[in-house]
Amino acid sequence: SASTPRARDPPVAAPRRAAGAVGPHVALPAAAVEAMFQETISECRSLAAQASEEVKKVREAPERDRQGICASAFSLLKQADENLAQLQAEAKSAPAAERSQCAKDEEALRKELRAAALDLEEVRRELLFGNGDACGSTDKLFLAREERKRTSAVTQALRNGHDRLKEGNKTMDETEKIGVETVMELRKQRETIMRVQDRTHDLGQNLNVAQGAVKELEKPACSVM
């Protein structure tokens, strides 16, 4: 008899990619890159404007509040610097045709941000806030991408040098400790040897006395006539 045809399994649907999802090796559309770029620029300018407002308050604020306001302005500028670093990364991934304009926009923004940072530095100098104060120093903020890379490399080299120096100091301390312990042990051994020598000297004297006594006993007794 004719066999009954076997039903075929239904085709499995391929998983659907969410709308707007981009694979790891798929470049973003130029419009999306531009939108992200401009959004980051706006955020940087907003943070710089807030920092400038804080700087304006510093001179008129009571002395006890000045350092806190200055620190707040520095924190805002630091956030702007982090956004700038993100902006520089976005500019690098922009389409080749737009990289030149992105570079110009980034350079113009850096000048604006540096101006805000210089205002803060001027106030910091006027109020005699040192680099160790909460206000902080803006020297390493708003660097160009290549400058940022060089600064990062120098910082890492200094950190590595500091780590090596710290390890060297640790080794030197351990060596010094071993040296001190060795000297103390040698001193103890010297004291032990000196005690042994003293005892040997005493034994020698006792032996001499004993030998003298034996010789006296060995002398013949004198007879009386």
Give yes or no for residue 73 having a pLDDT over 70: yes
Tell me the whole-structure pTM to 2 decimals. 0.53
Give yes or no for residue 113 having a pLDDT over 70: yes
| Range from 66-80, 85-99, 104-118 carrying the lowest mean pLDDT | 85-99
Distances (CA, A) of 55 to 58, 83, 97, 130: 5, 20, 39, 16
Q: Work out the end-to-end distance of the chain between its first and last CA atoms, rounded to an integer number of angstroms.
A: 163
CB contact at 8 A, 134 and 75: no
CB contact at 8 A, 87 and 106: yes
CA distance 170 to 86: 39
Domains of the chain: which residue ranges? 30-143, 144-201
For the stretch 1-58, pLDDT in tens is: 444 444 444 444 344 333 333 444 455 566 776 788 888 899 999 999 999 999 999 8
Provide the pLDDT for residue 26.
52
Residue 93 three-state SS:
coil
DSSP single-letter state for residue 219: S
In 3D, which of 68, 72, 67 has the Cα closest to residue 52?
72
The more confidently predicted of residues 13 and 85 is 85
The answer to whether domain 30-143 has CATH 3.40.640.10 is no
Residue partners of 185: CB distance under 8 A and separation at least 6: none
> Hey, what are 101's tokens?
């304009």
Residue 100 three-state SS:
helix
For the stretch 139-189, pLDDT in tens is: 888 887 777 667 667 777 788 888 888 888 888 888 988 999 999 999 989
Confidence at 79, pLDDT banded by 50, 70, 90: very high
In 3D, which of 78, 67, 79, 76 has the Cα closest to residue 124?
67
Question: Taken in order 105, 107, 113, 116, is the CA torsion positive or negative?
Answer: negative
CA distance 94 to 192: 81
Give yes or no for residue 91 having a pLDDT over 90: no
